[in-house]
Structure 1
Amino acid sequence: MGKAKKTFKYNSRDYQIFQFLGTPLNKYLEKNTLTKEQQYTLAIKIAYAVHHLHAGTYSKKGIRYAHLDLKPRNICIDKNSNVHLIDYGESEEIDGTLPFIKGTRSYLPFSDLFEVEKQDLDIFALLRILYLPENFKSYQIADDYRVSYNRWIFSDELLFKAPLLEDFLDTADGKTRSISAFDVVCRLILFKYNLASTENVKKALDDPETFNNCYQHLTTLGLNQAKYIQNTLDDPQQFDENCKSWFLETIQKNTRKRARTASLPNIFFDASQHTQAKQRIVQSTNLSDIFFNRHGGSLTNLATLSAIGNEVHNERGALIPS
């Protein structure tokens, strides 16, 4: 459940209305068979949710929390495929250790029972939500196994073809790891695009904030492809300029494919806004000047920019230098 929205009384009984945050992850996975793309996307979203909790971005006061009872039942997927963590009854501020572990058995480590880092406990549970080994060690019972109510994101079929990902997610030994949720996010992104070499992982984790920001921009622009992500890892300082070139090149390809005219085909711009947007692409030197300006509260739209690409090409002669 989400935040309480309203209370009322009916037939001498008190009721409280809560925001509905969607279907619990275990039920969601029972009802849906996920494609490879969907598995990675959902895994990354869940890792992001844990990161935001640990970083304090979920708190109005910026307080950093550990959940301490992460499991599929405490994660919800709403109708827009957004991920929500729920049931914070065991949560504590993230700094420090727990004198004794707490949580749900299958999602608890076997080795560290006392004075365990709170973040490490959440990360262990997160990894088991992403993939629960067929046989594993867990708290109280040394050798446990999958049971009917267990659910996890990555299928055995996918992991059979991705042994490095399986190795990263493997918690069969019941041991915690001192990594952050943000580390998990970055690694999952690299695994998704088959870029998880030792060198690339080091580049991403040396500056995860920059890597994440670049990836988010690429995703917004529809440029989340392996070749662009690799270029971002190799040359992060030139990301803005490179991204601008990649996007304009994409516009050219789209306009050629769709044989777009120089008319106004899109409802998102009126005539003056259309002209202004076109001028920004022609004249701008900064990525944010083009893609992240707001018009009447609406973010400049990829289809809209593609629609005016032909005009820009005609005025510049060529968008991308040869």
Structure 2
Amino acid sequence: MSIAPRLSRFAEQDSGDHWPGFVDALATLLLVIVFLLSIFVAGQFALSRALTGRDEQLAALNQQLATLTDELALAEGENQRLEEEMVTLRATLSDVQNERDQLSDQLVIVMGQMEDVQSRLLLEEEVTGQQLDQITALNLQMQALRDQIAELSGLLDAAEAREEELESQIYNLGERLNAALASRAAELARYRSDFFGRLREILGNRSGVSVVGDRFVFETDVLFASGSAALSNDGRESLRPIAAAIVQLTQEIPDDIDWIIRIDGHTDPRPIRTTYPSNWHLSAARAISVVNWFEDLGVPSNRLVAAGFGEFQPIAEGSTEEAYARNRRIELKLTSR
């Protein structure tokens, strides 16, 4: 059978009117686009409200921190004033006790003298006017001493009561200070958790980087050549996003929280065979190199601390190459000063 008859039949069946179908397709596509735009606008609105709520919460938290800081400063001043007053009161109390003891001794002496006089009078069996005057004077002197001792006892009791009151106030202030310090520690712990969460996202599953407790650990083979304290190009690039996260952290943590990023250098126990005299020097030099690089990337110097531990803080036991590689490391830790 020839092809021409088939084509003629197809031409007869095709009416050539495709425009309504094309319009339907365009209308459907337009509806899909409008639907996607609606979803996008709704998502943007929800995201905007979430960010606004977060900003309000952050502002409220900063206000609470400022109030707590003021209360803490007032409590510290009051605590210092009470301690000074207590020192003065204890000195006064000591003087009063000494004076009371002296008067007690005088009273004993006077009473002894009176007893001697009375004994002599009884032996002589004669009471003259002069002796009566002497007895009267001794009685008055003894009564005066008793009055002074009673007054000093009252002062002593008042001083002891005041000392107990001051001790109670100091204890209460200590409790408030401990609570404030605990609050600050909890606040720093929250920022530490956020910071390490960002670092985990930045580093991902990168080889040679791990988390040990509250520290990020970089194997130094990732950052330095063997026996060297000069950061490699790959090492610099590995630390660049870490520095950016620290810079962002300095803008978020309130100024009244005293925090630092501590960079610790560690080596393996094998003796060093480079220009550095010991593993102490190499570990410290590597930590300082990281600090200098962070400074170049904009991290404030007052938020950085470098420390060298040599080979004396291992995290892996044994003398295998794997253990040596784990012990050669740089650790980053967010902590208080």
Q: Indicate the structure with greater helix content.
A: 2
| Higher relative contact order, chain-length normalized (CA < 8 Å, sep 6+) | 2
TM-score band w.r.t. shorter chain: under 0.3
The two structures have a TM-score, normalised by structure 2, of: 0.17
The two structures have a TM-score, normalised by structure 1, of: 0.18
